[in-house]
Structure 1
């Protein structure tokens, strides 16, 4: 089933969108960088895109991940407000995407209430997620954010990520994350291998994750 069948688009909108040709973006593809102009509205058909913000010191924070059915708030802002990108987007794994060109996107926003609802609903959900991120970074201790991230992103009891990647997920620095993970390892809560964090005591992590709530 085409992705357009799940939204309340007009027949004309659905026809125009179905005529667009999807393209593949292999893992690690950089889709945009700070300062780039927004070319169009990207729909993720499969895979995942990570959007990062990089500070003057080179420290990164993962703003959000774009999965099938979700939107990139920076792209929406760029198209509606004529702003350039301030972040960087990289495919986490092999992705299949559709690009709605700027002209077509703006025309559909004007002509189709269903398309406008689709865009603004996704935009609102993404903004809510970013507010939650801001709240966590501002008010949660690093240990709590780290524990929550390990629990949420682990597969089969392990998170396969470098300390730098984990740092970007929680809005901290790699050195800080390394120290916190070493402390958790000494307490027997996690085990550390190269590029992998193994959860040994999930109950203790849950307690840490809930400590600031």
Structure 2
């Protein structure tokens, strides 16, 4: 058991006096994955419950017209909502996931997950609390993709990042928005023509956040 990692990332487990939790911590294996590696795909069986230690995993689906639509990110301190759902329902993955950076995570074998879920009140509460929170985040994201203009959604993403220089490609922003790269590029170029930002390869600079906020306010008032 790697007590240092448990204490740093999941201290509530270290504070538990539950013997079942101690067995779970002993059974957990640290897995390290390189950037841009596929973690799961539609139809893949779910063998482990994952608790993220570092890095980021992108979960996404492919639309009927071939677009990648981001569902959520799994980052340090998170559990994966699709993994939890598949383990609880004994189902295979319905979507795909890729590492966005080097990733480190605790992998807990499925049979240990189910035994602890049955025997430990602490673990049940932890799993369902995190599952509920992550599911709510996914629903909010789907709502933001489904409703609102492209201008509004693009402005909201740029404001949320908050940096004067944003190192993201048009394709990465399209993935965030659940839109096509060509659509995002067209709107960004229009923003540039208004003097709201400057486009260069792989980054967006000189962002006028005041102008972007006006887009959101004007939409809210309509």
Asked if these proteins are the same fold (TM beyond 0.5), I'd say yes
Q: Within 2, Cα distance between the matches of 1:188 and 1:130?
A: 33
Q: Within 2, Cα distance between the matches of 1:210 and 1:11?
A: 53
Instruction: Report the equivalent of 2:192.
Output: 185
Task: Write the deviation string for residues 2-30 of structure 1: whole angstroms up to 9, x where unpaired.
Answer: 24432464233134324422021111111
Is the counterpart of residue 74 in structure 1 residue 86 in structure 2? no
Return the TM-score normalized by structure 2. 0.89
Deviation at 1:182, TM superposition (A): 0.6
**Corresponding residue to 1:83 among 81, 84, 91:** 91
Task: Write the deviation string for residues 104-150 of structure 1: whole angstroms up to 9, x where unpaired.
Answer: 11111001111111111111111111121122122211111111111
Instruction: Report the equivalent of 2:38.
Output: 30
Question: Does the residue aligned with 2:112 lie in a helix, a strand or coil?
Answer: helix
8 Å contact from structure 2 (residues 170, 181) kept in 1? yes
Q: Within 1, Cα distance between the matches of 2:98 and 2:204?
A: 23
Task: Write the deviation string for residues 150-173 of structure 1: whole angstroms up to 9, x where unpaired.
Answer: 122254x12212111111101111
**Corresponding residue to 1:166 among 159, 163, 173:** 173
Q: Within 2, Cα distance between the matches of 1:140 and 1:116?
A: 37
Q: How does 1:1-213 map onto structure 2 within 5 Å?
A: 1=4, 2=6, 3-7=9-13, 9=16, 10-155=18-163, 157-213=164-220
Residues 145 and 199 of structure 1: CA distance in aligned 2, closer, same or farther (over 3 Å) = farther
Q: Within 2, Cα distance between the matches of 1:153 and 1:140?
A: 19
Residues 192 and 123 of structure 1: CA distance in aligned 2, closer, same or farther (over 3 Å) = same
Q: Where in structure 2 are there 5+ consecutive unaligned residues? A: none
- Would you identify which runs of 4 or more consecutive aligned residues in structure 1 move more than 4 Å? none
Deviation at 1:210, TM superposition (A): 4.0
Q: Where in structure 1 are there 5+ consecutive unaligned residues? A: none
Residues 199 and 111 of structure 1: CA distance in aligned 2, closer, same or farther (over 3 Å) = farther
Q: Within 1, Cα distance between the matches of 2:144 and 2:218?
A: 12
8 Å contact from structure 1 (residues 154, 160) kept in 2? no
Q: Within 2, Cα distance between the matches of 1:202 and 1:111?
A: 51
Cα RMSD over matched residues? 1.6
Q: Within 1, Cα distance between the matches of 2:179 and 2:198?
A: 20
8 Å contact from structure 1 (residues 73, 126) kept in 2? yes
Q: Within 2, Cα distance between the matches of 1:118 and 1:63?
A: 22
